[in-house]
Amino acid sequence: MENIFLLFSVFYFPFMKGNLIIISSPSGGGKGTLIKEVLKTTSNIGYSVSYTTRAMRDGEENEHDYFFVSREKFENLIEQNEFLEYAVVHDNFYGTSKTQVSKDINNGRDVILEIDVQGAENIMHDFAEAVSIFILPPTFEILKARLTARATETHENLALRLKNSFGEVQKYQEFQYIVINDDRLQATNDLRTIILAERLKRVRQTGAIQDILDSFDISKFNTVGD
Ligand code: 5GP
């Protein structure tokens, strides 16, 4: 079965050089802030700007935070097979652009996908080699306080997001890494550490390793030394 997934990912990303990094958390888990910090302080990493049908918030920018589109446009993009994954989250559509992600990955850049747990499950299913990270708030009360203080949602949507968080946190078991977002600085460092350590995996360094090994040519070895 795994071979099928591998074939799928090779088809989309034939020269997958960068890592596909999935980051999920319940709404208010603080992943956006941590990701911004990591993007500022880490080289060779991009961010996948998703498409969404939700309304733009104050302070958000089209094409920077999201591509804000109508439901009709979103459905057209589904038909055109433009999404790596998409899902309905808290009553709105959200989707990851295949075009954007493949450009970065094939150029050897890591790409962060800030997506919900349904999207994360789909990407993990299709791309076995993706790196998955779940951000947990320290407690439900803190999550609620953060989301309420953010004051970006209507009363109904805030309630929906809090209700959905109960199911979302239970999905932590599907992720490879857990970052507990209690102290922001610590959590940012944890996130960056995971991303950097993933780059050092043996399978990620085969090209560089081969060049080194090629220099160990025993036929040119002079026992007398020179
Ligand atoms: P918000 O409305 O707060 O920006 O995002 C709501 C949720 O949708 C968050 O959990 C966010 O990570 C998720 N989300 C954002 N973009 C995508 C996407 O492209 N696909 C999926 N599945 N979820 C997304």
The domain that holds 117 is classified in CATH as 3.40.50.300
Tens digits of residue pLDDT in 42-78: 999 999 999 999 999 999 999 999 999 999 999 999 9
**Distance (Å) from CA 87 to ligand 1 centroid:** 9
Quickly state the pLDDT bin for 2 (edges 50, 70, 90): very low
SS3 call for 90: coil
Whether 116 has a pLDDT exceeding 90, the answer reads yes
Task: Kindly provide the residue ranges of all beta strands, DSSP E only, lying in the chain, ordered along the sequence.
Answer: 20-24, 45-47, 51-52, 67-68, 83-89, 92-97, 110-114, 131-136, 177-180
Residue 193 to residue 131: CA distance in whole angstroms: 13
State whether the beta carbon of 114 lies less than 6 angstroms from ligand 1. yes
User: Hey, what are 58's tokens?
Assistant: 């104050």
Whether 136 has a pLDDT exceeding 70, the answer reads yes
The residue among 19, 198, 2 whose CA lies nearest residue 101 is 19
Is residue 54 one of the residues assigned to a domain?
no
Q: What is the pLDDT averaged over residues 120-147?
A: 96
Is residue 204 one of the residues assigned to a domain?
yes
State whether the beta carbon of 115 lies less than 6 angstroms from ligand 1. yes
Quickly state the pLDDT bin for 6 (edges 50, 70, 90): very low
**Helix runs in 116-154, H state only:** 117-126, 140-150
What does the buried/exposed string (b/e) look like for 62-93 if buried means 16 or more CB atoms within 10 Å of the residue's CB? Answer: eeeebbbbeeeebeebeeeebbbbbbebeeeb
Q: What is the pLDDT averaged over residues 211-219?
A: 94
Which amino acid residue places its CA nearest to atom 17 of ligand 1? 115
Whether 171 has a pLDDT exceeding 70, the answer reads yes
Cβ neighbours around 12 below 10 Å, total: 15
Q: Which residue has the tokens 């309905």?
A: 88
pLDDT at 167: 97
Is residue 23 one of the residues assigned to a domain?
yes
Residues 6+ apart with CB under 8 A from 88: 94
Residue type present at position 138: P
The residue among 124, 135, 36, 25 whose CA lies nearest residue 84 is 124
Is residue 39 one of the residues assigned to a domain?
yes
**Distance (Å) from CA 42 to ligand 1 centroid:** 22
**Distance (Å) from CA 158 to ligand 1 centroid:** 15
Residues 6+ apart with CB under 8 A from 169: 26, 136
State whether the beta carbon of 96 lies less than 6 angstroms from ligand 1. yes
Count structural domains, the chain.
1
**Distance (Å) from CA 114 to ligand 1 centroid:** 7
State whether the beta carbon of 104 lies less than 6 angstroms from ligand 1. no
pLDDT at 11: 52
Q: What range does the domain containing 183 cover?
A: 14-49+108-209
Quickly state the pLDDT bin for 170 (edges 50, 70, 90): very high
Is residue 160 one of the residues assigned to a domain?
yes
Whether 214 has a pLDDT exceeding 50, the answer reads yes
Is residue 225 one of the residues assigned to a domain?
no
**% of the chain exceeding 70 in pLDDT:** 92
83 bridge partner residues: 97
Is residue 99 one of the residues assigned to a domain?
no
Whether 1 has a pLDDT exceeding 60, the answer reads no
Residue 26 to residue 150: CA distance in whole angstroms: 14
Is residue 37 one of the residues assigned to a domain?
yes
Residue 85 to residue 43: CA distance in whole angstroms: 26
Four-point Cα dihedral 179, 180, 184, 189, nearest 10: -30
Is the CB of residue 201 less than 8 Å from the CB of residue 187? no
